[in-house]
Structure 1
Amino acid sequence: MPKLSPELLSVLRCPVTGSPLVQDGEELVTTSADDSGQKLRYTIEDGIPLLLPPELLPAAAAAAADQHDAGQHDAGPLPAAN
């Protein structure tokens, strides 16, 4: 996985703690811990950081699956052009 540019990393912040993020392989890690003492980790998919708070990940995954499923249904033939 290629590293994110230093310019992008300089502006990204954790949506939970507000702290800067550092890249660790295919994840971004907060530089400070949250209220429970944990450093949060965010995945990078196809070069795009997914900065969703952990409690929203299940809902986002379900929405993505619903959208993917909807795109696989055949809507029927397109109307003929006049």
Structure 2
Amino acid sequence: MTETQESARGQRMEVDPKLLEILVCPVTKTTLRYDREKQELISEKARLAFPIRDGIPIMLVDEARSLDDA
């Protein structure tokens, strides 16, 4: 089964660890924490959670969830 098929069946795709090492928050330029359970990249300083969809981090502020709303 391919990764695309797994994603279509609702299973989580893993993010490339090398990609996680180089990504930073687009607002603060600080490092991000990977939340595997929620499939998000967390910027503690900006108080934002960026979604990961089909294994691709969506690093747009308009798509991010505010951690202050939680």
**Partners of 2:16 and 2:22 in 1: CA distance:** 10
Gaps of 5+ in 1: 58-82
**Partners of 1:4 and 1:15 in 2: CA distance:** 18
Residue equivalent to 1:63? none
Question: Identical aligned pairs, as a percentage?
Answer: 38
Corresponding residue to 1:41 among 45, 49, 55: 49
**Partners of 1:27 and 1:20 in 2: CA distance:** 13
| Deviation for aligned residue 1:23 | 1.1
Structure number with the bigger relative contact order (C-alpha 8 A, sep ≥ 6) is 2
If the length of structure 2 is used for normalisation, what is the TM-score?
A: 0.60
Gaps of 5+ in 2: 1-11, 64-70
- The one-letter amino acid paired with 1:15 is P
**Partners of 2:24 and 2:50 in 1: CA distance:** 11
CA RMSD of the aligned region, Å? Answer: 1.5
| Deviation for aligned residue 1:11 | 0.6
Residue equivalent to 2:34? 23
Structure in which a larger fraction of residues adopt strand: 2
Q: Which has the larger radius of gyration?
A: 1
Deviations 1:53-81 (A, max 9, x none): 1xx33xxxxxxxxxxxxxxxxxxxxxxxx
If the length of structure 1 is used for normalisation, what is the TM-score?
A: 0.53
